[in-house]
Amino acid sequence: MNARLNMEEAKALLPLLKSISFEVRERRKNQTRLENLRADLVRATRTSPEGMTLAIQDVDSQLINVRYELRKALSELEELGLEVPSLKPLVVYIPGTAEGKEVIFYWEEGDPALETGADLGTDAGLESSATPNGS
């Protein structure tokens, strides 16, 4: 789907966005946990290297899997023609039309509804209105 959607069509994507957002959030948490564990194991090898190499390799393997699953979840959004400019928090841009103009609808993880970004024909730019922190 690379067509521009009207607001109702974009709203129909909300359940999918929320589901993928949950998956992304879980993958991010797992990735952070594994990265912290790996850092702890690396620090531990400085004082007691016995057995740590295998533990680090195991964590590295788990990290590869988590990163793959995260990329897979994000590719689902990209296959729909959506853009993901931010992962923390997850922000999704949806190409749309409103009142006969091309716009970007955006959704931020945790938000109950879509917002309408700037009219693409103006100089206002989406960056200034997409999220409060400009991400």
Q: Rounded CA gap, 43 and 93, in Å?
A: 40
Q: Is residue 90 part of a domain?
A: yes
At 74-117, the pLDDT tens digits run 999 999 999 999 999 999 999 999 888 899 999 999 999 888 87
Q: Is residue 135 part of a domain?
A: no
Domain that holds residue 19: 7-119
pTM check: above 0.85: no
Task: Enter the tokens of residue 76.
Answer: 């689902």
Q: Is residue 124 part of a domain?
A: no
At 55-75, the pLDDT tens digits run 999 999 999 999 999 999 999
Q: Is residue 12 part of a domain?
A: yes
Please, what is the average pLDDT of the chain?
85
Q: Is residue 1 part of a domain?
A: no
Domain count, the chain: 1
Looking at the chain, list the stretches that DSSP marks H as alpha helix, in order from N- to C-terminal side.
7-11, 14-45, 52-79
Q: Is residue 95 part of a domain?
A: yes
Residue 88: phi and psi, rounded to 5, are -130, 95
Range in 21-25, 40-44, 75-79, 125-129 with the lowest mean pLDDT: 125-129
Q: Is the pLDDT of residue 126 over 70?
A: no
Task: Enter the tokens of residue 107.
Answer: 């959704």
